[in-house]
Amino acid sequence: MSDIALAIIGGTGLYQIAALENVETREGDTVYGKPSAPVRIGYLGGKKIAFMARHGEGHSVAPHKVNYRANMRCLKDLGITKVLAINAVGGITDAFGPRVVSVPDQIIDYTYGRLHSLSEEPGSEVLHVDFTEPYCAKLRANILRAAKKIEMPIVDFGCYGATQGPRLETRAEITRMRRDGCDLVGMTGMPEAAIARELALCFTTVALVTDHDAGVDAGGAVTHEEVLQVFARSLEGLKSLLKSAIGAMPAPEDDESALCSCRRSLDGLRLPFALPR
């Protein structure tokens, strides 16, 4: 375990945290290969945090090409215990218009062909981790409390539908997702969350809505440029939220004293890998 209070994974539109002080860079290389970007470790508001750009610092890695296993394993190897992912998403239901910020509580996975698990290798032990609640309840509560403290409106629920991309969705796909119960659509929520659970990490997501219905009701598809523009307008609010959340983040607890069930997700299971101590 390290003294890093929180790792942040930046998605589309968030490639660095400029306010990070005394930055140390770890290139990272894992048993699953190289992560999308180096990990920048530094201080924000006196707390030690880590940052990684999910799509690479120059946004060169497409959602379906991200090595989710390497990204998460790299954070685990650094002794990190808590991970907050930032995701630009489309809103599907009424509560999720552009610029709404949400802490989702559920996931439906529509992705395919990605390496979804740490049990992919032939002959490896199979991991059946509990994923009933895909996000860490404690970390979600921390983020919601941090938003309340700065009086930032935030939606405390949301079902994240993870699509394969990189293309946007058809009208019928959005209709189906709405029928399925999704509130949000994005391309990177899975398998990131599931792999975090397989590594017994506390993991949650802050989703920023950049467009509604992938443009299908409005009659025109959203463009990557529009996603970036709306995200940029939400960036100040997001930075305030991160500052508030990091300021209140407790010191990392060791495995024995952590109360959170995420940290117990591998108890009693035979692992296909060795975990760092």
Residues that bind ligand HPA (CB under 6 A): 88-90, 163, 168-169, 185-187, 210-211, 214, 222, 227
Is the Cβ of residue 105 or residue 211 nearer to ligand HPA in the bound state? Answer: 211
Nearest distance, CB of residue 216 and ligand HPA, angstroms = 9
Cα distance from N-terminal residue to C-terminal residue, the chain: 7
Task: Name which of 224 and 264 has its Cβ closer to ligand HPA.
Answer: 224
Beta carbon nearer to ligand HPA, 36 or 210: 210
- Identify the helix (H) or strand (E) that includes residue 149: helix 137-149
Please identify, using beta-carbon distances, which residue of 210 and 244 lies nearer to ligand HPA: 210
**Dihedral (CA of 107, 77, 61, 14) sign:** positive
Minimal CB distance residue for ligand HPA = 90
Closer of 174 and 258 to ligand HPA (Cβ): 174
Minimum distance between the CB of residue 222 and ligand HPA, rounded to whole angstroms? Answer: 5
Judged by CB, which is closer to ligand HPA: 169, or 198? Answer: 169
Query: Tokens 């497409």, residue?
Result: 62
Minimum distance, C-beta of residue 221 to ligand HPA, in the bound complex (Å):
8
User: At its nearest, how many Å lie between ligand HPA and the CB of residue 187?
Assistant: 5
For residue 122, the minimal CB distance to ligand HPA (Å) is 33
CA distances from 163 to 68, 98, 194, 195 (A): 15, 19, 15, 17
Q: How far is the CB of 13 from ligand HPA (least distance, A)?
A: 10
E-assigned strands of the chain? 6-10, 21-26, 39-44, 47-53, 82-91, 101-102, 106-109, 159-162, 184-186, 202-212
- What is the DSSP secondary structure assignment for residue 218, as one 8-state letter? T
Q: Which one-letter DSSP state was computed for residue 155?
A: B
What's the CA gap between 152 and 180, in Å, rounded?
29
- How far apart, in whole angstroms, are the C-alpha atoms of residue 126 and residue 213? 37
